[in-house]
Amino acid sequence: MENIDFSKFEKNILDKGFVRLVDMMGDDYAAVKAARVSYGQGLKTPERDKALIMYLMEHGHETPFEHIVFTFHAKAPLFVARQWFRHRIGSFNEISQRYTEIKDEEFYIPSNVRVNVPEDRQKAVQLNDEELLRKVIDMMENVFDESYKIYKELIGLGVARELARIVLPLATYTQFYWTVNARSLMNFLNLRADSHAQWEIQQYAIAIADIFKETCPWTYEAFIKYGYRGDLL
């Protein structure tokens, strides 16, 4: 992957967030080589190599896909990051609010309003109600402004950032690096690129799926055909 242009793999998400691919090891051929080492063999023709990826995915032989590794840089609201970090097979490094001071514009403002569905606790549906949305945004912005005002006052009093930060809401943006192999990435997509996931993390999952498709087209195609259990891709 020495010649890959990572600059084109960046997508803006929500109002102030993003996800970008910053590094990658391996590709479709890495999974093929990892699978064929069992027989002391390597790459063959593109047709046979792609057919092998399809076979592996169809029959649940997923360990070869662990040899494709992505590193993403993401910016997301804290409540999205906390859902994301529950995907344990991966490595995370997050910006520290002990060492950095939060800026006043670093809060997520939703673009839609949702209500819960009584028959499904995991699901929420969007309402086409501009008046309600405006009211919700006004209420949230008031809370954000007050929280940030107190945060700055605490810092002004000499209170350490690590303590002052506890007044900030879950809408505060954070940034982190996520290194994950393709097998675990596919599990993430199964759970988060799905209508049962929260809408905000769905947007990140869909963007990551697009990057996955561009960088590993055979593996992505096989995943959609044989492994994907969600309903958004």
Q: Is 114 assigned a catalytic role? A: no
Each residue's pLDDT tens digit, 18-73: 999 999 999 999 999 999 998 888 889 999 999 999 999 999 999 999 999 999 99
pLDDT in the model for residue 121? 75
**Among 20, 165, 183, 192, the one annotated catalytic:** 192
Q: 132-138: which pairs have CB atoms within 8 A and are 24 or more residues apart?
A: 136/110, 137/109, 137/110
Query: Rounded to the nearest 5 degrees, what angle is found at the Cα of 108, between the Cα atoms of 104 and 113?
Result: 140
Q: Indicate whether 7 pLDDT > 90.
A: no
Three-state DSSP class for residue 125? strand
% residues pLDDT > 70 (the chain): 99
pLDDT in the model for residue 2? 58
Greatest CA separation found in the chain?
Answer: 68
| Nearest-angstrom CA–CA distance, 56 and 65 | 9
Mean pLDDT for the chain? 95
Mean of pLDDT values over 101-107: 95
CB 95 within 8 A of CB 173: no
Q: Which residue has the tokens 């954000």?
A: 144
| Nearest-angstrom CA–CA distance, 30 and 42 | 10
pLDDT higher at 228 or 3? 228
| Nearest-angstrom CA–CA distance, 185 and 219 | 12
- Distances from the Cα of 77 to the Cα of 55, 144, 231, angstroms: 38, 13, 24
- Does an H or E element contain 127, and which? strand 120-127
Each residue's pLDDT tens digit, 8-27: 899 999 999 999 999 999 99
